[in-house]
Amino acid sequence: MHLYNFPLSRSVKLIGLLLADTAMLVIALSLAFGLLGYDFAAQNQLFYAYLSAAVACSLLVFVRMGVYRALVLYLGLQFVVQLLKAVSLATCLVAAACFLSLPPESLD
């Protein structure tokens, strides 16, 4: 047995991928806020509630669309289209969460 080969079950690997995707979604959003000149940590509580709901729904979309089932060695055009659909839907969910968390006076 090699040092880099750990015998992990499929469910443990899936949980690891879900946690990694959660972290990457939040990091990407915080970096986007930083590029816009806003402070990600200074948002209201409603923003974080909508963001966590959007991230959870995004992960469910990824699982439902089969993003985690593909073998990386045999990626085809059909999987790339599925991945593009899943990422687009996740982006729409996060954008909707950001829009819904805005205070009403900033929409004018």
pLDDT in tens, 22-65: 999 889 888 988 898 888 888 888 888 888 888 899 889 888 88
Confidence class for position 66, pLDDT limits 50, 70, 90: confident
CB 67 within 8 A of CB 84: no
Is pLDDT at 80 greater than 80 in this prediction? yes
Taking the whole predicted model, whether its pTM rises above 0.85 is answered as no
